[in-house]
Amino acid sequence: MTLPPKPSLTEFERMFNDAPQILGRALDYWRDGRVSDLEEIAPSLFHARVLGSEGSGYDVDIRLDAGAETASANEAADNPAGTETNADGSAQSPGRHDRSNPRGRHVMSTACTCPYLRTPYCKHVGAVLYALRERFEEALPERTSSPNNHHVSPRPAKPRATMPHYVLYDILARIDQQVAESGGGNPLFFWSPLCLQYAEHLRSEKELQLIDPELAEHLVLEPLARYHERHGHHHDGDDHDGHDDFGESDDPPVPEHLADNDPYDPYSSYGDPYDPYGERAKDPELDHALEGLRVVAYNALHSTDYANACVNLSTCIQALTAIEGTYPSDDHTLLEESAQLVNQIRCYMENVAQYADSATAGKALGEIANAAYTPHIQFQQPSNAAMLLASALAFAHHGDKIMWAYDVIDTALERFGPAHDHELEHEVLLMPRHDLYRYVLMVAYDLRRMADDEQGCRELWDANPDAAPLLLMHAATLMKDRRFAEAHRLVKDHLDRRADKLDADREIIHNGLLEDLLPHGWHTVLECCAEGMDDVDRLADVYRFLIVNCTTRSDAVYVARLRYLIQANGASGEQWHDMAAELARECSRNITERIRTQSDMPLYEANGRRSSSWRNPAYERLIVDERLSDAALTYCVTIDYPSMPLLKTMAINHPEDARQAIRNALPAGALDAKSISPGTGRRGMTTSRTTYRQIAKQLRRYEELFGDEEMRELARRIVEQYPNRRALREELAFAL
């Protein structure tokens, strides 16, 4: 079990991110006045007594850090206003780890004498943290009561809104990380200072005389052509022997400066330039065929004949992509090699941008752009095509060359745009073309942002309001500046334009900007913005949407989060119950609508009954927690094999329906020996121990709900149908 990171007392709710139901119970304990004898027994160590649910008392200790009392004089001198600053000197958002406020002190450790161990922190610790935070609030200058009161009163009738932060800080931290990786200022999609670092590394190594482009083409293509003849697709009708050995006569001519006695070694201790793991292709023949390509690429990357070097690099990446399309490989050797070469080309273009004159740089960039336009790169590897075009980003910081970058990227935007889809010969090409266009939009954004072209960024956003990557970047940029209301409005407007909001969410779950942080797509962004705004209503709206559309058990936690949010901000238990009942009706309507409109949802036969998997774990949690018996009856009709908590809830008002639900789960023929088993044509119940154990399991469920006597009566009915089955009587002996 991993403990969450230490938060400040201001935001201690983060400690309960994985157990919001515990936080809700802690709030109830504090409100009920169960926390008493809160005192500081040692510097920064606080002790309190919490009355348990069964009248027992538990001791809780909480240690805080020293807070503002030990803040350094240097901090005070550098920041006289008492406001923390970020690394770039900008002020942090209010209340975030504010050391000038005692409430900003961090929770270093907690301990409780209760036996609860399922989560890192128990409800007793949470209750004391609420009390401790209130004590510090009362200790501020306007406070009139004594700071040594040992009894802690519950929250007043009009409580301060308590906003949990489940996603806000992780997303903001990732955005800050993206900003740092992009060189500061604003997050970018693709460009990074690492490009400059690797470019300097290339330049620091020995400069090589460039191989003539005509010879380079021969060195690259001839070995690959021979390999393709042996292993590729043949159209000449000849019977090719796939086991011919490469002879000395097959080797292409090698120029003198690349001979063995030359000190140059393309695979020196620096390593294979396309294999960061020190591994080579699994196929030795393929490895041999790629030798020429690797030599030419390495040579070009270490040449200052920039225009012709880009000709050779273009030849290499085109040849590598072409052979990749015909080589059946499960080790992704060529895919990784081509991606590595593309990245090295991008870095090499940083040197072109810095050291070549404008005309030469424009010609070099044109060669790389032409490679991106070749059909096999466009349609086989659209991401590589986009990254080749992203080489133009190297020119963004050079005023005499930036026009080449705009020319290449804006031309690509036009040529790969939807207006040219009709020119494609086959519909199957639409998907890679659309992928490429999406990547190019991202490259275009990076160019405008790197060139400080704010107007260009806005025009790009306005021209593509529903392009998911650009929209996410726009929202991230606003969130970086803590403009959460604008980011929320931006995303909300996008979702309002979409007919299927869940489909829109799925489009952005996997993204390169906030990867693994958007489990619910745009709704996670809305959740983050609502937390940033401390807007209870907007956050509750997100929770309701996620509950209604829940399909995974992990999302059932949003019921507890919504309950805590509503009750922590003033709603009574009765008010929450009414809200929960209405939310349950909305869940039911959602399932009904999905059944009506999504007819392709798979149905399956189970013991002669058609069942579907329209399960909503959050709806189930809502039904059980709020004891919504009528909702349980309606819901259990749509699912197969209701859980015991659902059956218990159903039995509150509908006991006979709960009995029937368990009887329906018995094997076919268990209650009627004359019935015909579906799919077999045989009368009665299948003879097998597995079938009898299934009956035993249902009888135990029956006993848990309706008692031992009813269970035994049902067991006798089953055995009476099959009096000669000894194994059945043995399996059900516990119930007879």
In a domain, 52, yes or no: yes
- One domain for residues 491 and 574: no
- One domain for residues 569 and 639: yes
Phi, psi of 570 (to 5 degrees): 110, -10
Tokens of 322: 């072409």
**pTM flag (> 0.85):** no
Tokens of 356: 């070549």
Tell me how far apart the alpha carbons of residues 371 and 313 are, in angstroms, rounded to a whole number. Answer: 9
- One domain for residues 82 and 115: yes
Which of the listed residues 101, 119, 142 is the one where a domain comes to its end? 142
Tell the burial category of 366 from Cβ atoms under 10 Å away from its Cβ (0-12, 13-18, 19+): middle
Tell me how far apart the alpha carbons of residues 454 and 462 are, in angstroms, rounded to a whole number. Answer: 12
Tell the burial category of 453 from Cβ atoms under 10 Å away from its Cβ (0-12, 13-18, 19+): middle
Which of the listed residues 625, 648, 664 is the one where a domain comes to its end? 664
pLDDT of residue 282: 62
pLDDT of residue 245: 37
Tokens of 212: 């003539």
In a domain, 79, yes or no: yes
- One domain for residues 640 and 677: no
- One domain for residues 689 and 637: no
In a domain, 89, yes or no: yes
pLDDT tens, position by position, 33-81: 899 999 999 998 999 999 987 778 899 999 998 764 444 333 433 443 3
In a domain, 353, yes or no: no
CB 588 within 8 A of CB 576: no
In a domain, 733, yes or no: yes
In a domain, 458, yes or no: no
Pairing of strands 57-64, 107-112: antiparallel
**Structural domain span for residue 98:** 9-142
3-state secondary structure of 614: coil
Q: How far, in whole angstroms, is CA 268 from its chain's centroid?
A: 40
Output the CA–CA distances (angstroms, integers) from residue 425 to 372, 378, 381, 406, 431, in the order listed.
19, 14, 18, 29, 13
Tokens of 163: 């906003």
pLDDT of residue 271: 37
- One domain for residues 518 and 562: no
3-state secondary structure of 119: coil
- One domain for residues 36 and 132: yes
Which of the listed residues 534, 552, 576 is the one where a domain comes to its end? 534
Q: Which alpha helices (DSSP H) does 278-332 contain, by range?
A: 284-301, 306-324
In a domain, 345, yes or no: no
Burial 212-233 (b: 16+ CB within 10 A, else e): ebebbbbbbbbbbebbbeebbe
- Ranges under pLDDT 70 in the chain: 1-5, 67-104, 139-162, 231-282, 327-331, 599-613, 678-681
pLDDT of residue 81: 38
- One domain for residues 19 and 137: yes
pLDDT of residue 327: 65
In a domain, 679, yes or no: yes
- One domain for residues 671 and 592: no
- One domain for residues 54 and 98: yes
CB atoms within 10 A of CB 141: 4
Could you give the number of structural domains in the chain?
Answer: 4
- One domain for residues 29 and 56: yes
- One domain for residues 655 and 568: yes
3-state secondary structure of 105: coil
User: HSE-up of 385 (CA within 13 Å, CB side)?
Assistant: 25
